[in-house]
Structure 1
Amino acid sequence: MRLSLICILFFSIGLNTAFSQEVEITGKVIDGKSQAPIEFATVKLLDKVTGNMLAGTTTQADGTLLLATSSENFSLEISFMGFITQELSDFEVINNKVDLGTIVLEEDSKLMDEVVVQGAKSTTEFKLDKRVFNVGQDLSSTGASALDVLNNIPSVNVNIEGQILLRGTGGVQVLINGKPSVLTSDGGNALGTVTADMIERVEVITNPSAKYNAEGTSGIINIVLKKDEKKGINGSVTLNTGVPNNHSLGFSLNKRTDRFNIFSQLGVGYRTMPEDFETINRNLSDGTRVENIGDAEKNEKFFNLILGSDFYINDKNVITLSGNYAFEGETEYSTGNFGSYSAANTLLSGWTRNESTIADNPKWQYELQYKSDFSDKEDHFLLISAIGSSFAKDQSSEFGNTPTFGEGAQTSQQQTQNDFSQAEYTFQADYTRPFAEKFTLETGGQYFISKVKNNYSISDLEDGIWVVIPTLSNDFDYSQNVLGIYGTGAYEGDKFGLKLGLRMESTDLSTELKQTGESNNQNFTNLFPTLHTSYKLTKGFSVQGGYSRRISRPRFFDLNPFYNIRNTYSVRTGNPNLLPEYTDSYEVTGIFDHALFSLSSSIYHRYITQTVEDVTFSENGINITMPMNIGTNQVTGLEVNGKVTPTQWWGINADFNYNYFDRSGTYESTLFGFTSSQWSSKLTNKFDLPADFTLEIVGDYRSSFQTFQRTNKGYALADIGIRKKIIKGKVIANLSVRDVFASRVQKNEIVSTDFSQYSYRLRGRFITFGVSFGFGKGEAMEFSGTRRRF
């Protein structure tokens, strides 16, 4: 198995040999005014006789280009919006190579006043230590929330509960603009207030260096929000509407001067998320069962406001002050039709359970940041930041049972009250200094404070009075403080690079159940070493390797022992005694970049101890699910990402991930062990059609897989998006259909010695239409060497 994975990883070396007889063309494109490299300049390889295009590419972040051709009679055309096109035909071929040197593009003053850039980046880019997904080009994300965007990213999966998995494993740390955020906390569907039009890109880091917080056993996902750096006034307006209800308005506005950059984003909306569900609980001892078939509808009103300003003290020092306010208003309704059956499959009793839930979720975050660039060397800087955030949740639910058949079901009413508050503070300092051009030192520290209070109660209605059930109610306090200090040293030569790092984190965690006095205090200090290396075998092929040690501390809602009682026969509770997971992560990646296609292939291995997994057990006919630490998990996997452009108007992105895992441990004093595997694949076809139409068709498949107790069924789905540019690209209209065939069905089954549980959930098809308009003026279009953004 592992030998075959290694063969596949280095398959691209053979591809490099196959194309070695072609003429290789290299060069670098720069801005004639600023001398900065131009990224995403268009390079066309043309036949000198017919003028037909033989191949094409775009320049990299450093302005470099790479092309190959078997033709002996060709010319080149290099262009970028707002610049005068260069045509090259006078060059020399030496040893099947053409070095164009530095190509200078000069501004076209006639076009600069009319240019509006709408983001023409490729969907996925591969960097040294991360994968970058550019949301602006993902047509099927129209009107989507951040959770929907994440679910479209290769190797990332978001289940119906909102849990984020990376390469099939949980424990993912989610950041906003590189920092922890109230929007990524445990409290509800907070990321739902961030819509796709607010996101510039998503970065996936599977093996982070010691510079990053060690939290997140399977890696880091960093959501980067849009923030324009061009001078003048720039902005965009986006309006979306859809079925079922998915209506939102997004507005962003920036004003940049020599001393200030004022940025803002506003998002408001309303959406409905319907759901069909079914559960079957079987008592294998006596053959009886309880079925629940029904539907639910969750409605969300949301509002998100981001305001901030960069103040440039001088060319080397800048202060940033920003704030974020988000609000969710939730209403949720569900109807479950219950039936109790005998061993002979006779209906004994039936009843309907109705739920009505109301919740308000306000969130605040504010940040003060100072960055100082030193004048001696580029990339020599000090960054200091302080972040404060708060989140509250006031939720109440009422449940009512109405008999429909038999004498076993009784009329009853229950109520839950949840008063939740969370405050978090992060203080961080990072210092980076290059030495002798090829060496870089990074050091810094972070102190993180989190305090949570949760008052939860369940009541029965007795003679018109709500009576609290003491055994199902409690006040729960949670506190976590983490001090982290790190240092890294890196060498980056022309072909070989090496980066070593070490991070120390000290954690102080405590929980307390007020009513019972039960408390749990954990204090531990850990070292987290990291190693990253790379070697460039040829101009188009390089190999990278990495190791990191990670931790996944228990989340609040995994510790909090409150019950979800929508289905009183299948409830979930937290575990106050949960311990953190630890992961040792190894990865080797080969990246092959050819003029006609690119291929990235990784072999990875993760060794996870104190593995946290949901465990279900039965008490008095009720199935209770609780997270527990049970044993170890060894995961070995292969990931392949490829991109090819068969024609000028057709692009294909393909992603494949396979992993094999070996689980072992002890549960209830009994040893267990099993092996299993899972795989996923995704194929994206993008077509540039006449009349400025673009069509995107996405196919996605997730295989079935086994956990400690559950067998999770696989599913396939398809998304379609179409875009039309209007008024020379100043207005863009998008139509998207997510889950075209309503096939994203989540099924799982537990079979134990004395009980079994089957679960089915379906969200369905979503259709959204959106229109966006971007504007800018003044010096907004002056190219500064940075990426152009929406």
Structure 2
Amino acid sequence: MNLITRLFCLFLLLPTLTFGQQKEAGKKITITGKVIEKTTSQPLEYATVTVIGVNTNKPISGAVTDAKGEFSIEVSPGNFIMKYEYISFKTITSPEKAFSENTNLGIISLSDDAKTLDEVVVRAEKTAVDIKLDKKVYTVGKDLMVRGGTVSDVLDNIPSVSVDAEGTVALRGNENVRILIDGKPSNMGNINDALKLIPAETIDKVEVVTNPSARYDAEGGGGILNIILKKGKNQGINGTFIVSAGEPKNTGVSANLNFKEKSANFFTTLGYNNRSNPGNTKIDQQIFDENRVLEKFVNERRNNDRFGEGITANFGIELLLDNSTSWTNSMNFRTNEGGNIENVLYYNYDANRQYQETTKRYNNLISDSKNIEYASNFVKNFKKDGHKLTADYSVSSNNDKDYSYITGTRVDDNAFITSERTRKNDKQLRNLFQMDYVLPIGKDSRLEAGFRGNYVKTVADYQVEEQKTLSAPYTNIDRFTNILEYNENVTAAYSQFGSKINKFSYLLGLRFEDSKIDVNQLTSNIFKTKKYSNWFPSAFLTYEITNQSSVAINYSKRISRPRDRFINPFASYTSNINLFRGNPDINPSLTDAYDIGYLKRWDKLTLNTSFYYNHTIGSFEQVKKETGEKINGIPVVETTFFNLGENDRLGFEFTLNYNFKKWWKLNGNFNFFNSKNNGEYSYIDTNNQTITQNFDRKATSWSSRITSKVTLPYKIEWQTNATYNAAQKTAQGTNKGIAAANLSFSKDVLKDMGTVAFNVNDVFNSRKRIQDTELPRVISHSEMQWRRRSITFSFTYRFNKKKTDREKDNKPRQNDNGDDMIGG
């Protein structure tokens, strides 16, 4: 349902709400029914139902239909006229009728109003939130901030979600979040990098699941983000074209095309982008000896010029086998060729800050990524509304290739220091099987059950070679070169039951997952198999205090499995003094998640707030440690992960939506949390010394976001977004606070068939990760900016896209992993 339709329905219902608040004494009865579309028999959500008094000819009460098209109205007995309205449909007014007891009016069918269809301007391009029992669904629509951007830009504009300077996604400040695309795990390698490659224009919705039910994968201790891509559903031939250009270089072209007839729907999404993301890093280090005596200062200055040219293509067909059965098949292709030209300067000073020398490290990275996926979705709807069976299968393959050429020189005399080259070839194959069955029981109950098998095989082939002199051949560096095979097989089954009793709704579920993980380090002959089975209960309780307010209590158990990068004991070689090494002994962590939420709606204001508590056993903690080695007098620092004893996270969050004026809307989000760790880490450095670091800590942090949307004269839309992430203590230092702002303008043109937009991302060029870290022999201050301020222009044109299209496709969307829940 688009924004204008929602406002129109609300406008029609305002008189009803006004009169309905006048309480009448005496007996109350309930009038119920269901509103459907006559031609398709599909439920009409947000249809307006009004009870009109015969004597006064004025509204007595009313309601708006839910996702099933159903309504329930409480009134005193009397003679009434019933009125049924839906935008672009013919209004039905029933004859006068006496109501003396609870009455079910049955099914009311509304027909299209051809005249209205030619006049009403409604575009399904809203940005809205739909709050359900176990998730929040954000329809991206006409969000000005994401024009010409990527999925990362979209997520950074979703309440409760943040994306830091390095592209890491967090939900409520927790980076342990599971990210799905169309209900499936991505097979594009590092998910944070993958999100920077997918154009924003291909996204339809984002589901935010802070406390997932048993229906979802148990993976992700911090919650789930499900990114749903666009799939055409409009009748006839239609589509949308978008072109964009910006500085730094940001050229993009995309098209979403659709042809739908009675028995089939053909859809495709095509996209091309050519982007450059210049960034920089500043690291100031103090180096000490074993006795904590200052030895030297090293100032590192790094400039990155990341670039990429990519193509995204999706082709699919939905076959309507009969009135109740559909079968959808699609092919998805993504390719990206690019790289990163990195210049690093090391300015060396002695303990008295006297200049010694400057060395340079030049790294030319060339990358090539290819992804292909086939997906099939079968849906069978039975006679009873909501009774259905869905089956999904997908197979996908991803191949990432990286080549780096690294040279090191002394700037003062241009002397040769070293030359290295690296090669990385990561291959991933994923097979996914899923089946879900939904059985309505009675009027307000539902039983669900399902099976899911997710089988992943990854092979990472990595090589590092060095040239010690200009005339010498390249030789292999054994401690980096390796082949890792990682297999993850997870088989799951679940069942859950939900029901609504008057104003009380509940959803109880239980999920079982059997996991088998094979970690085969082929180079060093390390073979480890980990098998474990877990039960994951979930419970969701909701009470509707009034039609405008409700309270909910939720619980679920979650698991976080270490990825292959966390496990590989061979170090990566992005820098010769800052290494990343996996830990083959790391185990999954388990989280108990609790949430208490409250929702309240007023005429112009909506408040959604929650208290949450997560208790995690064996949580992943990142640790930086000194290897004991030195390169040019600089200690080599290695980053790895280990299982911490326990982590407790307690927080409070609220979101406000305020329609201050017809032309001005405000949205605000605030999140406060306290994190407590208990545990320690011990390791043996290259000098055979045992180093123990205590990770007991308490940290408090908060973040806030405010978005203002103003309609200026000449229907120019102006949107401003400001965020602040407060400072946060870490086990080995502090992350500083970050403030950032985005700005955008847009204007509809060509009789509203086109839109021009202009946006500025990071207006003050302040989006940086700033850290202070203290190790026994190294104290460092770092500032990292992944991408500097950017400016983008875009133009959107809608091709034969009905501006009156109020279509809400009630058929299950492929892998949309979350149907409307009872009471949602």
TM-score, structure 2 normalization: 0.84
1-side partners of 2:221 and 2:569: how far apart? 23
Verify the 8 A CA contact 1:454 1:476 in the aligned structure 2.
yes
**For residues 532-681 of structure 1, what are the structure 2 equivalents within 5 Å?**
532-619=540-627, 620=629, 621-668=635-682, 671-681=694-704
1:456 aligns with 2:462: yes
Partner of 2:781: 758
Letter in 2 for 1:629: N
Letter in 2 for 1:449: Y
**For residues 138-287 of structure 1, what are the structure 2 equivalents within 5 Å?**
138-183=143-188, 185-186=189-190, 189-284=193-288, 285-287=292-294
Tell me by how many angstroms 1:608 deviates: 0.9
Partner of 1:380: 387
Tell me by how many angstroms 1:540 deviates: 0.9
Verify the 8 A CA contact 1:676 1:705 in the aligned structure 2.
yes
2-side partners of 1:20 and 1:722: how far apart? 40
Q: In structure 2, do the counterparts of structure 1 residues 413 and 282 end up closer, same or farther at CA, with 3 Å as the change threshold? A: same
Tell me by how many angstroms 1:670 deviates: 5.8
1:142-196 superposed Cα distances (whole Å, 9 cap, x missing partner): 111001111111121222333221111122111112222324x426722233211
1:437 aligns with 2:443: yes
1:112 aligns with 2:117: yes
2-side partners of 1:206 and 1:151: how far apart? 16
2-side partners of 1:283 and 1:293: how far apart? 17
Verify the 8 A CA contact 2:328 2:376 in the aligned structure 1.
yes
Letter in 2 for 1:250: S
Verify the 8 A CA contact 1:232 1:780 in the aligned structure 2.
no
2-side partners of 1:85 and 1:648: how far apart? 26
Letter in 2 for 1:414: E
Tell me by how many angstroms 1:332 deviates: 1.0
2-side partners of 1:314 and 1:123: how far apart? 33
Verify the 8 A CA contact 1:66 1:595 in the aligned structure 2.
no
1:69-103 superposed Cα distances (whole Å, 9 cap, x missing partner): xxxxxxxx998764579999x9xxxxxxxxxx999
Verify the 8 A CA contact 1:230 1:779 in the aligned structure 2.
no
- Matching residue within 472, 479, 488 for 2:487: 479
Q: In structure 2, do the counterparts of structure 1 residues 279 and 32 end up closer, same or farther at CA, with 3 Å as the change threshold? A: closer
- Matching residue within 747, 762, 766 for 2:770: 747
Tell me by how many angstroms 1:294 deviates: 2.4
Verify the 8 A CA contact 2:124 2:806 in the aligned structure 1.
no
Tell me by how many angstroms 1:276 deviates: 1.2
- More displaced, 169-178 or 285-294? 285-294
Q: Provide the secondary structure at the position in 1 that maps to 2:328.
A: strand
1:540-564 superposed Cα distances (whole Å, 9 cap, x missing partner): 1111111000011011222234544
2-side partners of 1:24 and 1:406: how far apart? 89
Tell me by how many angstroms 1:349 deviates: 2.1
User: Unaligned 5+ residue runs, structure 2?
Assistant: 1-17, 25-30, 51-62, 74-82, 97-105, 630-634, 683-691, 814-824
1:392 aligns with 2:399: yes
Q: Provide the secondary structure at the position in 2 that maps to 1:719.
A: strand
1:421-470 superposed Cα distances (whole Å, 9 cap, x missing partner): 11111111111111112221111111111111111111111434211111
Letter in 2 for 1:759: S
Tell me by how many angstroms 1:727 deviates: 2.4
Q: Provide the secondary structure at the position in 1 that maps to 2:714.
A: coil
Tell me by how many angstroms 1:698 deviates: 1.0
Verify the 8 A CA contact 2:240 2:801 in the aligned structure 1.
no
Runs of 4 or more above 6 Å deviation: 19-22, 24-29, 40-44, 57-60, 62-67, 77-80, 84-88, 101-106, 777-780
Q: Provide the secondary structure at the position in 1 that maps to 2:220.
A: coil
- Matching residue within 795, 805, 818 for 1:771: 795
1:688-725 superposed Cα distances (whole Å, 9 cap, x missing partner): 22322211111111111122223111111111111111
2-side partners of 1:204 and 1:561: how far apart? 34
2-side partners of 1:31 and 1:318: how far apart? 20
Tell me by how many angstroms 1:580 deviates: 1.1
Q: Provide the secondary structure at the position in 1 that maps to 2:153.
A: helix
2-side partners of 1:261 and 1:311: how far apart? 7
1:482-532 superposed Cα distances (whole Å, 9 cap, x missing partner): 111111111123311111111111111111222211222211111111111
2-side partners of 1:323 and 1:607: how far apart? 40
Q: Provide the secondary structure at the position in 2 that maps to 1:405.
A: coil
Q: Provide the secondary structure at the position in 2 that maps to 1:691.
A: helix
CA RMSD of aligned residues (A): 3.4
Partner of 1:371: 379
Partner of 2:4: none
Verify the 8 A CA contact 2:259 2:265 in the aligned structure 1.
yes
Number of matched residues? Answer: 741
2-side partners of 1:129 and 1:540: how far apart? 18
- Matching residue within 738, 749, 752 for 1:726: 749
1:192-230 superposed Cα distances (whole Å, 9 cap, x missing partner): 332111111101001111111101111110111111222
1:121 aligns with 2:126: yes
Partner of 2:708: 685
Partner of 2:13: none
2-side partners of 1:466 and 1:594: how far apart? 70
Q: In structure 2, do the counterparts of structure 1 residues 784 and 568 end up closer, same or farther at CA, with 3 Å as the change threshold? A: closer
Verify the 8 A CA contact 2:239 2:801 in the aligned structure 1.
no
1:758-786 superposed Cα distances (whole Å, 9 cap, x missing partner): 22112221111111112337999485675
Verify the 8 A CA contact 1:349 1:406 in the aligned structure 2.
no
Q: Provide the secondary structure at the position in 2 that maps to 1:378.
A: coil
Verify the 8 A CA contact 1:286 1:343 in the aligned structure 2.
no
1-side partners of 2:381 and 2:705: how far apart? 42
Letter in 1 for 2:524: T
1:413 aligns with 2:419: yes
1-side partners of 2:154 and 2:801: how far apart? 30
Q: In structure 2, do the counterparts of structure 1 residues 411 and 66 end up closer, same or farther at CA, with 3 Å as the change threshold? A: farther
- More displaced, 226-235 or 302-311? 226-235
Partner of 1:72: none
- More displaced, 29-38 or 276-285? 29-38
Verify the 8 A CA contact 2:344 2:360 in the aligned structure 1.
yes
User: Unaligned 5+ residue runs, structure 1?
Assistant: 1-18, 45-56, 68-76, 91-100
Partner of 2:329: 321
Tell me by how many angstroms 1:728 deviates: 2.6
2-side partners of 1:712 and 1:182: how far apart? 31
Letter in 2 for 1:516: S
Q: In structure 2, do the counterparts of structure 1 residues 190 and 382 end up closer, same or farther at CA, with 3 Å as the change threshold? A: same
Tell me by how many angstroms 1:59 deviates: 8.1
Verify the 8 A CA contact 1:264 1:305 in the aligned structure 2.
yes
TM-score, structure 1 normalization: 0.87
2-side partners of 1:778 and 1:709: how far apart? 57
Tell me by how many angstroms 1:674 deviates: 1.5
Letter in 1 for 2:757: N
Letter in 1 for 2:301: I
Partner of 2:538: 530
Verify the 8 A CA contact 2:165 2:768 in the aligned structure 1.
no
